[in-house]
Amino acid sequence: MAHIKDALGMTDEDFGSRHEVGDEPVPAELPGGLSDTQLTPLAAMVGAENVKTDSYSRLQLAYGKTMADLIRLRKGVVENLPAAVVCPRSRDDVRALVRHCHEARLPITVFGGGTSVTRGVECMRGGISLDMRVHMRRILELNRVNQTVTVEPGIYGPALEEALNRAPQRFGAQHRYTCGHYPQSFEESTVRVWVVTRGAGQGSTYYGKIEQMVRAQHYITPAGELRTEPYPACSMGPDVDQLMIGSEGAYGILVAVTLQIFRHRPESRAYFSYIFPSWEQAVDAARETLQAEVGRPSTFRLSDPEETQVGLKHYGVEGTLLDTAMRMRGYRPGERCLLLGAADGYPTRSALVKRQVGRIARAHGAMSATGWVTRLWEKGRYADPYLRDDLHDYGVILDTLECAAPWDRVMQVWRAVRGYCKARPRTVCMSHMSHVYPQGTNLYFIFAAKMTELEDYLAFQAGILDTIRQSGAALSHHHGIGKMIAPWLPDALGPEQMELLRAIKRHLDPHNIMNPGGTLALDLPESEQRSVDDAG
Amino acid sequence: MAHIKDALGMTDEDFGSRHEVGDEPVPAELPGGLSDTQLTPLAAMVGAENVKTDSYSRLQLAYGKTMADLIRLRKGVVENLPAAVVCPRSRDDVRALVRHCHEARLPITVFGGGTSVTRGVECMRGGISLDMRVHMRRILELNRVNQTVTVEPGIYGPALEEALNRAPQRFGAQHRYTCGHYPQSFEESTVRVWVVTRGAGQGSTYYGKIEQMVRAQHYITPAGELRTEPYPACSMGPDVDQLMIGSEGAYGILVAVTLQIFRHRPESRAYFSYIFPSWEQAVDAARETLQAEVGRPSTFRLSDPEETQVGLKHYGVEGTLLDTAMRMRGYRPGERCLLLGAADGYPTRSALVKRQVGRIARAHGAMSATGWVTRLWEKGRYADPYLRDDLHDYGVILDTLECAAPWDRVMQVWRAVRGYCKARPRTVCMSHMSHVYPQGTNLYFIFAAKMTELEDYLAFQAGILDTIRQSGAALSHHHGIGKMIAPWLPDALGPEQMELLRAIKRHLDPHNIMNPGGTLALDLPESEQRSVDDAG
Distance CA A442, CA A481 (A): 15
DSSP string spanning B258-269?
EEE-EE--GGG-
Residue A535 confidence (pLDDT) above 60: no
Type of residue found at B60: Q
Residue B472 confidence (pLDDT) above 90: yes
Return the residue of B nearest to A509 by Cα: B500
Q: Do B404 and A262 touch (CB under 8 A)?
A: no
Q: How far is A472 from chain B (nearest CA, A)?
A: 9
Nearest to A291 among B147, B292, B437 (CB): B147
Mean pLDDT, range A25-43, rounded to an integer: 88
Nearest to B237 among A239, A348, A520 (CB): A520
- 3-state secondary structure (DSSP) of residue A491: helix
Q: How many CB atoms lie within 10 A of CB B79?
A: 12
Exposed, middle or buried by CB within 10 Å (0-12, 13-18, 19+), for B394? middle
Q: Do A404 and B234 touch (CB under 8 A)?
A: yes
Portion of chain A with pLDDT greater than 90, in percent: 81
Return the residue of B nearest to A238 by Cα: B243
Q: Do A235 and B474 touch (CB under 8 A)?
A: yes
Nearest to B146 among A145, A408, A504 (CB): A408
Nearest to A349 among B215, B352, B500 (CB): B352
What CA–CA distances, in Å, run from A210 to A216, A259, A260, A364, B328? Answer: 12, 8, 10, 31, 49
Candidates B198, B204, B236, B296: best to mutate against A (most CBs of A within 10 A) is: B236
Q: Choose among B193, B195, B177: nearest CA to B264.
A: B177
Q: Following CA atoms B411, B416, B421, B423 in sequence, which dihedral angle do they give, to the nearest 10 degrees?
A: 120
Q: Chain A partners of B247 at a C-beta cutoff of 8 Å?
A: 237-238
Q: Choose among A300, A338, A303: nearest CA to A206.
A: A300
Q: Choose among A214, A238, A217, A229: nearest CA to B492.
A: A229
Please name the residue ranges forming H helices in A133-202: 157-165, 167-171, 191-196
Q: Do B233 and A442 touch (CB under 8 A)?
A: yes
Q: Do B236 and A441 touch (CB under 8 A)?
A: no
Nearest to A437 among B209, B233, B501 (CB): B233
Distance CA B75, CA B84 (A): 23
What distance separates the 2 farthest-apart alpha carbons in chain B?
Answer: 75
Q: Do A243 and B247 touch (CB under 8 A)?
A: no
Distance CA A200, CA A211 (A): 9
CA A221 to chain centroid, in Å, comes to 24
Please tell me the least confidently modeled range out of A321-325, B110-114, B510-514.
B110-114
Q: Do A500 and B504 touch (CB under 8 A)?
A: yes
Nearest to A501 among B238, B501, B536 (CB): B238
Q: Do A232 and B439 touch (CB under 8 A)?
A: yes
Residue B535 confidence (pLDDT) above 50: no
Mean pLDDT, range B4-28, rounded to an integer: 80
Return the residue of B nearest to A294 by Cα: B346
Please name the residue ranges forming H helices in B8-54: 36-46
Q: Do A496 and B229 touch (CB under 8 A)?
A: no
Portion of chain B with pLDDT greater than 70, in percent: 99
Kind plus residue range of the DSSP H or E element containing A131: strand A128-131
Mean pLDDT, range B395-420, rounded to an integer: 97
Please name the residue ranges forming H helices in A296-430: 305-314, 321-328, 347-363, 370-379, 384-392, 407-422
Distance CA B504, CA A504 (A): 7
Q: Do A349 and B232 touch (CB under 8 A)?
A: no
Nearest to B226 among A199, A295, A496 (CB): A496
Q: Chain B partners of A147 at a C-beta cutoff of 8 Å?
A: 291, 407, 438-439
Residue B375 confidence (pLDDT) above 90: yes
Q: Chain A partners of B437 at a C-beta cutoff of 8 Å?
A: 232-233
- Which tens digits make up the pLDDT trace of A268-303? 999 999 999 999 999 999 999 999 999 999 999 999
Q: Do B501 and A238 touch (CB under 8 A)?
A: yes
Q: Do B507 and A499 touch (CB under 8 A)?
A: yes
pLDDT of residue A1: 65
Distance CA B81, CA B30 (A): 9
pLDDT of residue B17: 82
**Angle between the N-to-C axes of helices B36-46 and B91-104, in degrees from 0 to 180, rounded to the nearest 10:** 160
DSSP string spanning B163-227?
HHHTHHHHH--SS-EE-----TTTTT-BHHHHHHTT---TTHHHH--HHHHEEEEEEEETTEEEE
Q: What's the whole-number average pLDDT of chain A?
A: 94
User: What residues form DSSP beta bridges with A474?
Assistant: A404
Distance CA A475, CA A486 (A): 10
Q: How far is B470 from chain A (nearest CA, A)?
A: 13
The DSSP symbol for B45 reads H
Q: Do A232 and B406 touch (CB under 8 A)?
A: yes
Please tell me the least confidently modeled range out of A77-81, A240-244, B102-106.
A77-81
Residue A205 confidence (pLDDT) above 60: yes
Residue B374 confidence (pLDDT) above 80: yes
Q: How far is A190 from chain B (nearest CA, A)?
A: 17
Q: Chain B partners of A246 at a C-beta cutoff of 8 Å?
A: 235-239
pLDDT of residue B534: 53
Nearest to B147 among A355, A438, A481 (CB): A438
Nearest to A481 among B145, B197, B237 (CB): B237
- Which tens digits make up the pLDDT trace of B164-204? 999 999 999 999 999 999 998 888 899 999 999 999 999 99
Q: Do B439 and A480 touch (CB under 8 A)?
A: no
Q: How far is A446 from chain B (nearest CA, A)?
A: 18
Q: Do A500 and B496 touch (CB under 8 A)?
A: no
pLDDT of residue A382: 75
What CA–CA distances, in Å, run from B393 to A471, B3, B67? Answer: 61, 17, 13
Res. B517 pLDDT band, cuts 50 70 90: very high
Distance CA A142, CA B507 (A): 40
Q: Do A239 and B226 touch (CB under 8 A)?
A: no
pLDDT of residue A15: 84
Mean pLDDT, range B310-321, rounded to an integer: 90
pTM of the predicted model as reported, rounded to 2 decimal places: 0.97
- SS3 annotation, B102-171: HHHCCCEEEECCCCCCCCCCCCCCCCEEEECCCCCCCEEEEECCCCEEEECCCCEHHHHHHHHHCHHHHH
Q: Do A500 and B243 touch (CB under 8 A)?
A: yes
Return the residue of B nearest to A237 by Cα: B246
Res. A536 pLDDT band, cuts 50 70 90: very low
Judged by phi (left if over 0) then psi (alpha if -120 to 50, else beta), residue A114 lies in left
Q: Following CA atoms A360, A364, A369, A371 in sequence, which dihedral angle do they give, to the nearest 10 degrees?
A: -20
The number of C-beta contacts closer than 8 angstroms across A and B is 313
Q: Chain B partners of A500 at a C-beta cutoff of 8 Å?
A: 223, 226, 240, 243, 504, 507-508
Nearest to B475 among A236, A239, A507 (CB): A236
Return the residue of B nearest to A403 by Cα: B234
Please tell me the least confidently modeled range out of A67-81, A125-139, A226-240.
A67-81
Distance CA B370, CA B351 (A): 14
Q: Do B478 and A235 touch (CB under 8 A)?
A: yes
